[in-house]
Structure 1
């Protein structure tokens, strides 16, 4: 079967979700591995879609905005010290991201923070570094971007980025930055979605970018190939909830780009409930396929399970970690 023609990425979804919608319309739900076989490779399809996807700007507060349409949600802080970005999107989005950044102001690009190493958050590192960005990340993110890195669930080997595109400044636990009058606090979660995830808090604005530790109204992908786990995702959610209050604007890695503590709490509770459901069935001696058939995610599927990380695939991810 040839590759289905894909629409541009939804402003309210993640590129995986939109790819999933295109596949669902033609073939029914596919796991990522099936999608890879059907359509030249899932990663290639996502990049092709990002090449034409529009970029949508949502302004938040204190000169902070969020850009949708190139992989993960990108936060942008503007001001006289130059623009600071949280995550880089996919490289083929450069023309549209350049236009969106220009709409936010004439300041040059000065800083880039990678929340983790995945291509939909770091593929744009090369052009942003060439444009002037100093790249900051956790030390494990630099490690993964510096070598050929395989993600088994995507059946894909990612090449190392050029040395200039690899984060030049890394940290192990915490890092502070003062840019454009904003205090920016970066904290390492420990292994969560990957083994290099960090949060980025804009302190005065009370805006928190949590990367892929939170997918708004979407079952998340968990990358066991590079240290992720269901328990780590729950621990990261707990850490996010601990620093948020009812006025905190939370930027998730994927899904609707503006969220809050109540929605994050619901996401965390969903993760715990499904982990416990799958864990209890596994303790009873059920096989992975038997557990998938038992539909341990059923109570949450209408809200979280309508995209490519479908209920069966998410159950398999959880099974691997309990």
Structure 2
């Protein structure tokens, strides 16, 4: 398995997938089974520094015609410079046909696209670079929402840590759900975040350009079952209702009621995926009041039902009624 790096690569684009595969190997060895993955970092340079400053020693690029199970392409701030390296692009283009699959992490999609690997394919990259990718490579169908996309033998992921989500999916494909879940638990991450969610959480999206309401958003997330009407929020923010509604919408781009609903849906998704709590209890905890309101909100925001969402994304195990990690 080749993990392709270049000067200025994003460290987590290499370290994240490498740790997932390495953890799978260790868990196999604990069961007296042979490792499934042979990992090597490859690059045109023997020594190269990540954008974060850490220097790594890489193996030379192997012959392009050599058989390869998986080619992982890192991204990073210097990816555009790497995509202009004709020799590197040519190697990627020649190497890909001899790989069982190719995974471009984050902005590694730009290098994959430069090598022609994304022509006519669906792809995703870091949310801040999706428009740029679509403009530079119009033959690629860029979708800004998914955490990762599989199109044929080519996989692409959203920003940075989404490379871990993608790699866990590869492990699940190779070794089964139980092994992927064991790796996710060891790394204290979710096995499967919703593939159709925004690449950054509702809370982070609301914070964009809205630092004055950061404390309010924190209070809202901690009090989803409380009265989050406009009068209550205005009082919490220390503003008049009219002023609060106007300034909140200017800062976040959405009215307060929509923000509250989005935060409640986000928390409900977490509870559906990672607990066995009944829908009635989830609706109550998240402030929906009843299951019907929960269902209407899911239909409006996710075009699905809470039960269908749970069936698709749940990693809850018997006896687990609380999430191991609470996302904010």
Query: By percentage of residues, which structure has more strand?
Result: 1
> Is TM-score (shorter-chain normalized) higher than 0.5?
no
Q: Which has the greater radius of gyration?
A: 2
Q: TM-score, length-normalised on structure 1? A: 0.32
Query: By percentage of residues, which structure has more helix?
Result: 2
**More RCO (CA 8 Å, sep 6+):** 1
Q: TM-score, length-normalised on structure 2? A: 0.31
